[in-house]
């Protein structure tokens, strides 16, 4: 099996800015991607993630800042350096795949090599190797319209890998696939990364995709980076409310900060006290305590009460298959959340929940 060579070199963006008239699509971001690391740029549409990726590719010109890779500077507005896209030696998988319809699978994948004037025997060997790697060997002479979406996706990946680029860029590569194929392609990318070392940037608006494929995630919002970190850390310990809400569902309750007895606690509307790992705050200030629904614990009938327990009633229940969508009256307020399927929940039932201290986060409430 050919192994794509490891290319030493970190990607760094410094003060990268892209302005369209008065609007800053990308607003002075700094980001480091270590060699061999796959960094996801995650955010809602319009957050500037695709613009950032296209600036790394050289398809858009920044209005400020610089992009360096290894020892070379791709672009720097201060030094007026700009390396053309075709000289950056990068690989890119487009959202639309951008396969050329007038060429066969082989010709598409061979193109980057032929542009680099590689000898034709060598081209054949390397194209066959990468198609084998992508399990596309049987499709080598097919034309692009004859392929399914998933196959086109793999050809696009093969075309980006074949010349062993030093840096891989993915622009929402799986978003045109259906749910099943998308899961399959994520597995495939993971398998591929065991065989091929790649440094890369992966743009997506799908948090599950970012969490599952990337080594590190940078969450963008309004042209700025909100938080950078490993998937598990960032999921459990979001730095901002935006990150918290974007990465998954939360159950949030409102109350006031109470530091009596040296222990940080939050008093809910119905008087329940919740212990939590809260940063110092003024006693009495309004706060919001949040927890991801999967960390909530439910009481069996007749179990004795434990710490951090809130009580309430089930007001509405909607069965959605793998869970119930519900509205609870909990801790003295109305909240929307979810309950696991597999228990006989009923509207009007009383309910007791334990919110473990380790899973709670506390936020100032405006």
Partner 1 sequence: METQRLLFAIVLLTTAFLVLLPVVLLISYSFVESLPGQPLNLGFDAWRHAVESPLIMGSLVNSVLLLLSTHSISLPVAVVIAWVLARTDLPFRNGFEFMFWISFFMPTLSILMGWILCLDPEYGLLNKLFELLPFVDKGPFNIFSFWGIVWGHLATHAITIKVMLLTPIFRNIDSSFEEASAICGANRVTTLIRVMVPAVTPAILAITLIAMIRAMQSFEIEMVLGSPIRLYVYSTLVYSLIEQEPPDFGAASALATIGLGCLLPLIFAQRWVGLRRQYVSVSGRMKSASVRLGPWRTPVFLAICTVVLILTVIPIVFLGLTSTMKLFGFFNIPEPWTWGHWATVFADESFRQSVINTLQMSAGAALVAIVLLSLIAYFSVRSSFKGRSLLDFVSWLPAAVPGVLFSLGLLYAFLEIPLFRPLYGSMALMIIAAVMGSMTLGTQIFKSAMLQLSRDIEEASAVSGATWLRTFRSVVLPIVVPTVLLVGITIFITAAREIASVSLVATGGTKTLSLLQLDYMVQGRYGPAAVISFIVILMSTGLALAARALGLRIGLKN
Q: Which residues bind partner 1 (CB under 8 A)?
A: 57-59, 84-92, 94-102, 111-112, 115-116, 159-160, 163, 169
Q: Which is nearer to partner 1, 95 or 212 (CB)?
A: 95
Q: How big is the chain by its Cα radius of gyration, in Å?
A: 25
* Residue of 278, 170, 267 whose CA lies nearest to 214: 170
Question: What is the distance between the alpha carbons of residues 76 and 62, in angstroms, rounded to a whole number?
Answer: 8
CB 136 to partner 1: min, Å:
17
* DSSP states along 160-221: HHTT--SEEEEESTTTTS-HHHHHHHHHHHHHHHHHS---EEEEES-HHHHHHH-SEEEEEE
Q: Which is nearer to partner 1, 112 or 331 (CB)?
A: 112
CB 201 to partner 1: min, Å:
13
Residue 180 CB partners (closer than 8 Å, separation 6+): none
Q: Which is nearer to partner 1, 92 or 196 (CB)?
A: 92
CB 126 to partner 1: min, Å:
14
Q: Where is 52: in which H helix or E strand?
A: helix 49-57
Q: How wide is the angle at C-alpha 73 spanned by C-alphas 70 and 78, nearest 5°?
A: 145
SS3 state of residue 143:
strand
Question: What is the distance between the alpha carbons of residues 337 and 238, in angstroms, rounded to a whole number?
Answer: 19
Q: Which is nearer to partner 1, 95 or 311 (CB)?
A: 95
Q: Which is nearer to partner 1, 155 or 330 (CB)?
A: 155
β-pairing, 38-42 vs 200-204, is parallel
CB 59 to partner 1: min, Å:
5
Q: Which is nearer to partner 1, 99 or 353 (CB)?
A: 99
Q: Which is nearer to partner 1, 59 or 181 (CB)?
A: 59
Question: What is the distance between the alpha carbons of residues 254 and 228, in angstroms, rounded to a whole number?
Answer: 27
Question: What is the distance between the alpha carbons of residues 118 and 297, in angstroms, rounded to a whole number?
Answer: 61
């Amino acid at each position: 099996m050919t192994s794509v060579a490891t290319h030493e070199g970190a990607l760094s963006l410094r003060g990268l800015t892209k302005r369209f008239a008065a609007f800053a699509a990308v607003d002075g971001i700094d980001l480091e991607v270590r060699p061999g690391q796959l960094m996801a740029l995650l955010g809602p549409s319009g957050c500037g993630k695709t613009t950032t990726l296209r600036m790394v590719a050289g398809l858009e010109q920044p209005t400020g800042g610089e992009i360096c890779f290894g020892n070379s500077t791709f672009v720097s507005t201060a030094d007026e350096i700009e390396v053309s896209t075709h000289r950056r030696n990068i690989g890119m998988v487009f959202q639309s795949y951008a396969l050329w319809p007038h060429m066969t699978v082989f010709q598409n994948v061979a193109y980057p090599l032929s542009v680099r004037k590689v000898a034709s025997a060598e081209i054949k060997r390397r194209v066959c190797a990468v198609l084998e790697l992508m399990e596309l060997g049987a499709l080598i002479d097919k034309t692009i319209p004859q392929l399914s979406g998933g196959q086109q996706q793999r050809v696009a990946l093969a075309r980006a890998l074949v010349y062993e680029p030093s840096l891989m860029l993915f622009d929402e590569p799986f978003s045109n696939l259906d749910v099943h194929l998308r899961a399959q392609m994520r597995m495939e990318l993971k398998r591929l990364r065991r065989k091929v070392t790649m440094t890369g940037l992966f743009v997506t608006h799908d948090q599950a995709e970012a969490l599952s494929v990337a080594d590190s995630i940078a969450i963008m919002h309004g042209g700025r980076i909100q938080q950078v970190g490993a998937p598990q850390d960032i999921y459990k310990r979001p730095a901002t409310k935006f990150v918290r809400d974007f990465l998954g569902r939360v159950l949030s309750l409102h109350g006031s900060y109470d530091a009596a007895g040296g222990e940080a606690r939050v008093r809910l509307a119905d008087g329940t006290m919740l212990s939590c790992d809260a940063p110092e705050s003024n006693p009495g200030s309004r706060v919001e305590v949040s927890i991801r629904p999967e960390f909530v614990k439910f009481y069996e009938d007749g179990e004795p009460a434990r710490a951090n327990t809130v009580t309430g009633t089930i007001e509405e229940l909607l069965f959605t298959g793998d869970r119930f969508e519900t509205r609870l009256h909990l801790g003295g307020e109305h909240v929307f959340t979810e309950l696991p399927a597999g228990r006989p929940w009923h509207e009007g039932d009383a309910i007791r929940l334990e919110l473990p201290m380790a899973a709670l986060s506390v936020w100032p409430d405006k």
